[in-house]
């Protein structure tokens, strides 16, 4: 897997993912599942959507 998420985007993805995750734990459980996607793409620094669209860091 090649890295296609930059450092700044990585921090933004993790931050947004954590916010969605916390929202999910306080209100709706399915939001917590949605919050995992940006966290995973931030930690691994690989986003399938970026790859599909040809976007790289």
For residue range 30-53, what is the model confidence (pLDDT) as tens digits?
888 899 999 999 999 999 999 999
Q: How many CA atoms lie within 13 A of 47 on its CB side?
A: 20
pLDDT of residue 28: 77
**In this structure, how many other beta carbons lie within 10 angstroms of the beta carbon of residue 16?**
15
3-state secondary structure of 18: helix
Share of the chain above pLDDT 70, in %: 100
Closest residue by Cα to residue 42 from 53, 1, 6, 52: 6
For residues 5 and 56, the answer to whether their CB atoms sit within 8 Å is no
């Amino acid at each position: 897997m090649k890295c296609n998420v930059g450092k700044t985007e990585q921090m933004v993805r993790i931050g947004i993912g954590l916010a969605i995750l916390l929202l999910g734990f306080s209100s709706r459980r399915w939001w917590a599942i949605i919050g995992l996607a940006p966290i995973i793409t931030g930690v691994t620094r690989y986003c399938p959507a970026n790859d599909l669209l040809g976007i790289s860091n």
